[in-house]
Amino acid sequence: MDTRSELQATVNAMVQPGKGLLAADESGPTIAKRFKTIGLESTEENRRAYRNLLLTTPGLGEFVSGVILYEETLGQKADDGTPFPQVAAANGIVPGIKVDLGKVPLALAPGDEITEGLDGLAKRFADYKRQGARFAKWRAVYNITASLPSRVAIEANADSLARYAAISQEAGIVPIVEPEVLMDGDHTIERCAEVTEAVLHEVFDALHRHRVVLEHILLKPSMVLAGSEHRQPSSTADIAAATVRVLKRMVPSAVPGLVFLSGGQSPEEATANLDAMNRLGALPWNLSFSYGRALQEPPLQTWRGQPGNVKEAQQALLKRARLNGAAALGKYDAAMEKD
């Protein structure tokens, strides 16, 4: 298959009505932080056992079309010896890989951050592909204050995202482009909208300069909402309206799918907000989820590292996947939380 057909086939498999992505690509330090909340040590075997629980959840493929894995998980095996990428694929879930190497402070720009990982990326893609990965993810982060993010941070991160996306497409791997405007801070929803608009404008400018084919990317945006320390949390209706307004202004309709991150929202909030956006209707792209915490918190807290809790934890994951699948169609109802 030529590269373009390969990219199109992957997009078609990932962007499906009523389905979204499971972000299970926590890096070493991040998964250790998550495990700490259940008093579990982050050993290689515990990480494998947890990802085994997630990926072998019966019926997950009904609501989840893709899973983002961390490099270590891509090379690990399920309890029955099947490599995880194959386990996912057998359930109709496209395996993908987080390829950025995390963020560091941006030199000479206090408070701003830049994501690393471009050096040697083309070579790494060849290995990941051999292991079964068909799409990738790169996350840039933007902190909001009265003066941040700076112009230089917005431009530098846009350029890195675009270079990554170009290298990815050349390798026949669909890039998920993730510019995450963080929720931390006491800023207003209007300030978040202003920053998100500037960030997305720069990202699409850079993608164009780097000749990235928009039909063959997925955008992973953050929602537009007041900072987590703002005195008044944004309502679902305000989040939906502000987010869709910014996205309609900044994201070309050639992009086939937008899959939100949850960014620290509760599982119920993340589901309700996605649902409200889809109920607005007349959207040029498929609007769905690529949640990490909002999908995994309930199963993680149910599992607590105990083999005897695996089935119940899988039910908790399947429930959130099902409700988010409904939200991706604008058919979620809070009453469904009680089922």
Among residues 14, 223, 261, 277, which is the contact residue for ligand 13P, using CB under 6 A? Answer: 261
Interaction between residue 320 and ligand 13P (CB under 6 A): no
Residues 203-242 that bind ligand 13P (CB under 6 A): none
C-beta of 6 vs 317, nearer to ligand 13P: 317
266-302: b or e for each residue (b if 16 or more CB lie within 10 Å)? ebebbbbbbbbbbebeeeebbbbbbbbbbbbbbbbeb
C-beta of 178 vs 269, nearer to ligand 13P: 178
Nearest residue relative to ligand 13P (C-beta): 292
Q: Is 95 helix (H, G, I), strand (E, B) or coil?
A: strand
Q: Is 236 helix (H, G, I), strand (E, B) or coil?
A: helix
Interaction between residue 174 and ligand 13P (CB under 6 A): no
According to DSSP H, which parts of the chain are helical? 3-14, 28-36, 44-55, 71-74, 84-90, 121-130, 151-170, 189-209, 236-250, 267-280, 293-303, 310-327
Contacts of 54 (CB under 8 A, 6+ apart): 22, 24, 60, 67, 296, 299, 317
Task: Give the bridge partners for 105, in sequence order.
Answer: 113
Interaction between residue 70 and ligand 13P (CB under 6 A): no
Q: Is 178 a catalytic residue?
A: yes
Show the tokens assigned to 157: 């991160």
- The size of the interface with ligand 13P (CB under 6 A), counted in residues, is 10
C-beta of 6 vs 19, nearer to ligand 13P: 19
Interaction between residue 292 and ligand 13P (CB under 6 A): yes
Going from the C-alpha of 114 to that of each of 41, 172, 299, the distances in angstroms are 29, 25, 32
Contact stretch for ligand 13P (CB under 6 A) within 32-40, 52-60, 99-107, 257-265? 257-265
Among residues 263, 267, 299, 325, which is the contact residue for ligand 13P, using CB under 6 A? Answer: 263
Contact stretch for ligand 13P (CB under 6 A) within 80-88, 198-206, 277-285, 286-294? 286-294
Which of these is catalytic: 19, 137, 220, 319?
A: 220
Residue pair 141/112 in contact by the 8 Å Cβ criterion = no
Interaction between residue 139 and ligand 13P (CB under 6 A): yes
C-beta of 165 vs 261, nearer to ligand 13P: 261
Whether the ω angle into residue 85 lies within 30 degrees of 0, i.e. cis, is no
How do 257-260 and 218-219 pair as beta strands? Answer: parallel
Tell me the DSSP string of 16-66.
-TT-EEEEE---HHHHHHHHHTTT----HHHHHHHHHHHHT-TTGGGTEEE
Q: Determine the Cα–Cα distance for residues 222 and 195; give it in Å rounded to an integer.
A: 11
Interaction between residue 262 and ligand 13P (CB under 6 A): yes
Interaction between residue 99 and ligand 13P (CB under 6 A): no
Which amino acid is it at 12?
Answer: N
Contact stretch for ligand 13P (CB under 6 A) within 101-109, 162-170, 205-213, 289-297? 289-297
Give min distance, CB of 291 to ligand 13P, in A: 4
Which of these is catalytic: 178, 180, 202, 297?
A: 178
Interaction between residue 136 and ligand 13P (CB under 6 A): no
Among residues 15, 23, 31, 327, which is the contact residue for ligand 13P, using CB under 6 A? Answer: 23
Q: Is 4 helix (H, G, I), strand (E, B) or coil?
A: helix
Interaction between residue 291 and ligand 13P (CB under 6 A): yes
Q: Is 268 a catalytic residue?
A: no
Contact stretch for ligand 13P (CB under 6 A) within 6-14, 108-116, 156-164, 255-263? 255-263
What is the Cα 75 distance to its own chain's centre?
21
Binding residues (CB under 6 A) for ligand 13P: these are 23, 139, 178, 261-263, 291-294
Active-site residue set: 178, 220
